[in-house]
Structure formats: C-alpha cells, structure tokens
Amino acid sequence: MSTRIDRVPIDRLVCRPQVRERTGFGEEELAGLAQSIREAGILQPLLVRREGDTLIVLDGERRLRAARKAGLTEVPVIVESEALSEGDVLHRQLVLDAQRVGLSPMERGAAIHKLMSETGWCAREVAVKLGLSPASISKLLTLTVLPAEVQAAVTSGAVGMSTAYELAKLTDSAERQRLCQQAVNGGLTRDDVIQRAKELETQRASARRPTRKARTPRERVSIPLGEGRSVSVSAPTLSVESLIAWLADLAERIRSAGADGRPLAEVIKVISSNGK
C-alpha cells in the first residue's frame, strides 16, 4: 500500500457503500465530527482507489461526509495502488472496522455474509482474516436470518443483541416470526426466548415417542384347586358358560399335545404356538 498522502478535490471522491448503510451515520455524530474537522482538520487521511478519473473511498466515508458538512473543498487521501476485487474491498473495510469502533453487530453480520459470498471463503477463513473467533463469526451470521423489521429494531436498540441471538437460533420459522414480533413490540426478553425454545424441544421430543396402544380391559379370575394348586384365567369377558367351554377345550388340547409322553413344558409350548 502506498504511503504517499495527496490532497484532492472533494468532488472527485465517490462512496460506494460496501458495508455500512447510510442510516448507520447519525446526524448528531456527523455534526460533532464536522465541528472537530473545522477546528483541527482531517487527522487521518482517507483510503481510496482509482477507477478511471474517479477516486472510490475504501475507508473514510464518515470523515468525507463530515468534511462536506464542514465546508471543506479538498481532503487528504492515500491512493491504494493495488488492483482490488469487490471481495478485497469488502475485506479491507471489515478489517479496518474490526480494528476500531466501527460497525454494529447487525451491519457486521450482513457484511461478513457478503464477504463470504464475494470471496468464497468459509466461516473459519473469515475468522482468521478478521481476527475474530469462529464462534463470533457464527453468532454474527445467525443474525442475518432475522426479519428486516427485527434487524432494524436491533440496530436501533429496541431489541437487545442477546435476545436477537436467541431468536436467530430458533429452527421453527413460524414460531421465530411470532416471537420476533413480540420482541419488536417490547414484550419479550432473552430468557423468554430460551424458555420457549426449551418448550418447543420438549414438544418435538414427545412427538417423536411412539404412542402406546391402549390395552383392552380384561376380566381375570383365579380358581383355587386345593393343596396349593390354582388356575388363573383372563379374557375380555368371562361367564360361567365361557369358562366351562374354555377349560374343556384346554383339557382336550393338553391331552392331544401330551399323547406321546412329551414333558409338560413342551406341551405348553405346543399349545401356546397353536393358540397364536
């Protein structure tokens, strides 16, 4: 990068916002910077690149707007001599903002998403190049799934950043939309979102469990035969007639299955298999 500082007419400079939208510059903040520039001038030159006869601002749009407000006709610049792609430009802007107070989390999340689209970098590569942790990149990217109305509320401070992160993590889009609206209306906190997410997970887990079939009610009787012996019978319905018929049928099946002298255990298996 060239370190030569030139002074150029202010009307030769053009801003093509890559990261920060114009709404990101507060008028009160610009007025204060303009007053500072009137008194002390621009202490940090703008970084620009050439496009024909035009100079495109890479870093310093805020200073340029304040300089115009202060009535300056020219400003100090450093001209970037290296050819840059759109991804390179965005990378430079993000790095510059990451190194000082710059973008809001919403703006940074949108910019990182655009940077990945322009360069093809994965989240881990972006984290290395911006000097951020992979977890921070992941968090910032999750904010981009929020509705525009919620993003605006986060930027304005109406919805807290921690609440926004929890909203973005919800996988149920319909529920996320509903809770986002509550958050915008001021009726939702981070803890509320976490609690609702737990309730949704409990509901999903319950839905995944197989439903047990209801058992048909059965009548049961136990008949003592003396000397420690007894017979127990159960069926959907029982009567004296049905019990007599069942016992007679059972006696005949036992007699037939045990005719060859096989052990009782095998007789029971035969009767059980035939009864299925």
Domain boundary residue among 207, 223, 253? 207
Residue 162 lies in a domain: yes
Amino acid type, 225? L
Residue 131 lies in a domain: no
Residue 256 lies in a domain: yes
Residue 2 lies in a domain: no
Residue 152 lies in a domain: yes
CA angle 173, 176, 179 (to 5 degrees): 155
Q: Give residue 260's pLDDT.
A: 78
Report the alpha-carbon distance of residue 122 to residue 119 in Å, rounded. Answer: 9
Pairing between strand 46-51 and 54-59? Answer: antiparallel
Residue 262 lies in a domain: yes
Domains identified in the chain, total number = 2
Tokens of residue 22, six digits: 């114009």
Tokens of residue 54, six digits: 């035009």
| 195 lies in the same domain as 238 | no
Report the alpha-carbon distance of residue 23 to residue 160 in Å, rounded. Answer: 19
DSSP state of 209: S
Residue 196 lies in a domain: yes
Q: What is the pLDDT along the chain (276 residues), one digit of tens a residue?
A: 446 889 999 999 988 765 555 445 667 778 888 899 999 899 889 888 888 788 888 888 889 989 999 999 999 999 887 777 776 776 776 666 555 555 678 878 887 888 788 778 888 888 888 888 888 888 888 888 888 888 888 877 778 888 888 888 887 778 888 888 888 887 778 888 888 888 887 887 777 766 666 666 778 888 887 777 888 888 888 788 887 787 888 888 888 877 777 888 887 887 777 665
Residue 221 lies in a domain: no
Pairing between strand 46-51 and 229-235? Answer: unpaired
Q: Give residue 179's pLDDT.
A: 83
Cβ atoms 45, 3 nearer than 8 A = no
Domain limits at 184?
146-207
DSSP 17-56: -SS--GGGS-HHHHHHHHHHHHHH--SSPEEEEEETTEEE
